[in-house]
Structure 1
């Protein structure tokens, strides 16, 4: 029996599919006829809910799998949806990105409607934009080409024609790219379309536009598509653009068997043309729509959830859902101010190394930041700390030479595989011949990255073998499917990613680094709407953490520089050293650590120690350790560096510098208390 058949059999009656769902998820899964709108907060199990909805519809006979089209925004999310459906014993459902679904349909109908072979798709606009700039006499460099390409994309997904661009952009208060005015952009956009036509190519936006146009104008084609697809699911609906919504409308026709899922609080792509209004106004369009709210957060601890809720509450985010944590309490959210960027990178790397040494997998740790340019310092610091890492948004996994070569070798080995030897062992033998070894190399950099990539293939082989009978041939098939969807296996290294690239992912430990004004919100966010989106972006970052979360910033850019930087305004009154210290800290610490009933004598002893240290180093006392930190020490009375590290406001640099002395003060206080008790 195949693994899919095993999965199907394990559920028995269709209602067994519902057993693993909470009441709200079950409500989603049993609402099999649209329109349905699911407002799902971060970590509330939306993917589980919608995949079980599809599986329940198929297993109960309401849906034919081939009539279901589920669309989402990333190849990884589509791949995960297919994997979950397969595990539920459901095959034949089309789970794809908007572009992949559109391209598949366009390729099918192109010969009939347009004739000949479809035009070649250009993955990057840079060369076309540069040529268009020359045609209109505009001087551009690489940065200008990138910005102009982004503006052309915004116009196309917003259904703004080139001749109407200047008027619409001005009406919406959208600034033109630096160094250009709106009329120049409009002329360049017109030239860009002409260059594409001359070369006989199309871009990704054209795929959606052309297909939507065919469906809108060709009734026969539209009826054929609508006969094929009768049930629609759209994930991440808060990120849909006007162009995507227009295509979805053509798929639907006059029907309403649609289920949309989204979270207004995670709208972070407005600059690309995405709009949450389709989600927020869904019940205006479909007054009889069934609405379900998922607010039980299964991902994050109460400490993380509390901070996430506070961020939204203080920002008065439209449509925000208040999450309810379902996990047990965890460590408090840590807030750390470093002296400079180098100290921040070194501190974060040291903490990541400590977590790995304590048994946490490096792949369960992430360092998130606002801009890709911030990654370099953390790459260097992690390398110095001997911790492997992967940069999300860098070279794609399946484009790496060692991965391509390994797949070729595995494909060859599949033809002569020993049926009596376990598949994972065979995979290890094959990859060993390609230079892989069970232990990672001592060297960092490219050598470690190559090893990590092949180790991820070994890990995938182990995972497949655990789920049922597997062969090298089935592993190769899995890899080919993942390569087509760019659904890479997990590489065991700390993830470095921008906040935008982290969307849809989660880790046990997350470091939100570089949370300075000017970076969060970024200095380019000049309007209220842009600042509000930056707040939502920080919310996305916070909600990536399952257990451990640290937020940090650096007071200066370089060592010895002027400490003029400020932390992000979004954490005002939430940062423990801010005004109202005790109240704001209470929102991110377990209550038992914040009774306020610290040992007054120990507190004074710590203050005296701090005064002496500050005098010896000619520095303000608060820069050694703040009163709040000293009060927490006097309350917790730590006896080890590990206990000391759990106190907010003490990072690795402070521990290295003052940890032993602080513990000595606490120990002396304990000894004095013991001596005093003997007198009675």
Structure 2
């Protein structure tokens, strides 16, 4: 049962309240980092449902990570909205493809690739090109294939388009850039051929096939449009042309669309995303209402002032809306420390992390962010040597682990046996006790405690949450210090943050200085209370403001 509107509208600031009560689209919300946009989105959906504007089954809320979609669903459940759909673009498209495949295509659904690496490695051999199949090379080629497919560039057109767009591909073969791009085109063609031969689909194919199905089959298109009539898109600055094309097909001629984004956090241009759809929203919908959220609830004034300076330094403020203003108490000024070598830098950060933990900080509220995965591998090794538990945030599928599947079976069995005293959390602790202090046990118990404190009345509520997370590959927070690239840190936050490698040639990296500056901005705005920025050798140009 949905909660009362007075509860939905309580404790919103005036800007948030204006968005939540604007329940008829189209609307565009420019929401700065930490301004409460997830709360605003979910409260607006709940308010619209309570007000009779839409039915919960007609809602489709879209975002870009399983974690963000899971957070939306959890918050909507907390507002009494249990059956609204919140998914990533890929997840929503896949669900539609699976449902309509027998009707639209016939035959068995192809196998879905969870990683491109295996097929790309085979494609390199099939194309017979001089590319060592290292992890870095596979990652680079995978990124190029994804960029090409979201822009609907065929293997035959890839080389010409890649040269025109000044694509940089770092391959360990000492070849020239033009030759590298030509080889990637050959691998791309072999990859698509191999995929067709093996009846496999990658995640970009899911979007492409869903677009094709909706464009070509009027019956399917009308059924989908009848299903979903009230749209919300989070992180709209990260939409690719292909995702926008799919959104257009879902929406049709209707205008019940709310988009939320922040052009200052556009960090996926290299992968085909563009903030143009956000910035030009009024061009497509001249009657759209535009709102701005600029009151930051995540970070201290000192951290927010630093973030504002980063945008100001690159003359990016006017393009991206208002500067952030902190609603929090003052804290420490961001610290910057330089070192002669990356080894010295990492040793310092590890020592600082140990000091913070010894002072009583929860290790899961500490993160170390870097520009590349290679930097994180070095940090992980140093933390292991110092016996500090840490987790690299990556694409590992937590719910595919055998130990996790085993413990979920036990939880499923225990959920049908209600506790006599009603303390289901105590029952869960007993169920998990034989598994000791394994990382998944700690993560499950922390999640269960949060669900209990937010009104979860039995273990079945917890089971629904973890099964929902398993379906969406959205693991709970694991214990230990988080290690993440700046891109992987998007949408997350920590009390204590170490941003390493802010050095010349590392951050910024590549040709697009503004994109790198926005990436630095995203990194800084992940910190809630304290941030330390470090570099080795020559400092980044981005640190000039810290002099």
Same fold (TM over 0.5): yes
Task: Name segments (4+ residues, structure 1) moved above 6 Å.
Answer: none
Relative to 1, partners in 2 of residues 1:291 and 1:394: Cα closer, same or farther, differing over 3 Å? closer
Q: Which secondary structure does the structure 2 equivalent of 1:260 belong to?
A: strand
Which position in structure 1 is the counterpart of 2:249?
250
Match of 2:36 among 25, 40, 45: 45
The structure 1 residue matched to 2:517, chosen from 530, 535, 538, is 535
Superposition pairs of residues 311-350 of structure 1, within 5 angstroms: 311-317=310-316, 318-350=319-351
CA apart distance, 1:238: 0.7
Matched, 1:192 2:164: no
- Name which of 454, 465, 468 aligns with 1:478: 465
Give yes or no for contact 2:349–2:498 (8 Å, CA) kept in 1. Answer: yes
**1:553 maps to 2:535:** yes
> Over alpha carbons, which structure has the higher Rg?
1
| Alignment pair present for 1:169 and 2:162 | yes
Quick check: 381-390 or 75-84, which moved more? 381-390
Give the 5 Å matches for 1:1-16.
Answer: 5=1, 8=2, 11-12=3-4, 14-16=5-7
User: Counterpart in 2 of 1:456?
Assistant: 443
Normalised by the length of structure 2, the TM-score is 0.93
| Residue aligning to 2:411 | 410
Aligned equivalents of 1:177 and 1:346: distance in 2? 28
Counterpart of 2:487?
500
69 and 309 in structure 1: CA distance in 2 versus 1, 3 angstrom threshold: same
Q: Which residue of 2 aligns with 1:649?
A: none
- Equivalents in 2 of 1:477, 1:278: separation in Å? 36
User: Does 1:430 pair with 2:434?
Assistant: no
**Alignment partners' CA distance in 1, 2:351 and 2:168:** 42
Partner of 1:229: 228
CA deviation after TM superposition for structure 1 residue 469, in Å = 5.1
Question: How far, CA to CA, are the matches of 1:125 and 1:391 in structure 2?
Answer: 20
Question: Is 1:28 aligned to residue 41 of structure 2?
Answer: no
Question: 1:290–1:176: structure 2 CA closer, same or farther, 3 Å change rule?
Answer: same
Compute the displacement of 1:338 (Å).
2.9
Cα 1:177–1:363 shift into 2, 3 Å: closer
The secondary structure found in structure 1 opposite 2:495 is strand
Aligned partner of 1:665 in structure 2 is: none
On the 8 A contact 1:265/1:321 being kept in 2, the answer is: no
Query: Is the aligned partner of 1:515 residue 2:516?
Result: no
The structure-2 alpha-carbon separation of the partners of 1:490 and 1:132, relative to structure 1 and needing over 3 Å to count, comes to: closer
2: CA distance between counterparts of 1:354 and 1:175? 40
Q: Which residue of 2 aligns with 1:490?
A: 477
What residue in structure 2 maps to residue 301 of structure 1?
300
Contact 2:456-2:462 within 8 A present in 1 as well = no
Q: Unaligned regions of 5+ residues in structure 1, if any? A: 438-450, 555-564, 579-680
Aligned alpha-carbon RMSD (Å)? 2.0
In the alignment, which residue of structure 2 is the partner of 1:443? Answer: none
Distance 1:278 1:100 in 2: 21
SS of equivalent residue, structure 1 residue 351: helix
Alignment partners' CA distance in 2, 1:460 and 1:262: 28
Q: Residues 128 and 491 from structure 1, CA distance in 2 versus in 1: closer, same or farther, beyond 3 angstroms?
A: closer
Query: 1:57 Cα shift?
Result: 0.3
Report how far residue 476 of structure 1 moved. 2.7
Q: Distance in 2 between matches of 1:78 and 1:265?
A: 21
Conserved? CA contact 1:391–1:497, under 8 Å = yes
Match of 1:60 among 51, 69, 86: 51
Which sections of structure 2, spanning at least 5 residues, go unmatched? none
Find the partner of 1:17 among 1, 8, 13: 8
Task: Determine the structure 2 residue equivalent to 1:96.
Answer: 87
> Tell me, what secondary structure is at the counterpart of 1:42?
coil
Instruction: Check whether the contact 2:369–2:483 (CA below 8 A) recurs between aligned residues.
Output: yes
2:9 is paired with a residue of what secondary structure?
helix
User: How do 1:104-119 and structure 2 match up within 5 A?
Assistant: 104-119=95-110
2:73 matched to 1:72?
A: no
Cα distance change on mapping 1:271 and 1:356 into 2, 3 Å: same
CA distance in 2, matches of 1:294, 1:469: 31
Structure 2: how far apart are the matches of 1:342 and 1:191? Answer: 41
1:567 aligns with 2:536: no
Do the aligned partners of 2:31 and 2:294 also contact (CA within 8 Å) in 1? Answer: yes
Closer, same or farther: CA 385–301 of 1 in aligned 2, 3 Å: same
Structure 1 residue 493: Cα displacement:
1.5
CA contact (8 A) 2:30 2:321 kept: no
Residue 618 of structure 1 is matched in structure 2 by none
Assess, with a 3 A threshold, how the Cα gap between structure 1 residues 34 and 472 changes in structure 2: closer, same or farther: closer
Residues 552-591 of structure 1, C-alpha deviation per residue, up to 9 Å, x if partnerless? 113xxxxxxxxxx21111011x22xx3xxxxxxxxxxxxx
Question: Is the 8 Å Cα contact of residues 140 and 169 (structure 2) preserved in structure 1?
Answer: no
Compare relative contact order (CA 8 Å, sep 6+) and give the higher one, 1 or 2: 2
| Secondary structure of the corresponding residue to residue 20 of structure 1 | coil
Render the CA deviation track for 1:166-218: whole Å, top value 9, x for unaligned.
Answer: 33222222245644444443344333322222212221111111111111122
Q: Within 1, Cα distance between the matches of 2:309 and 2:246? A: 37
Cα distance 1:307–1:279, how it changes in 2: closer, same or farther (>3 A)? same
- Is 1:420 the counterpart of 2:424? The answer is no
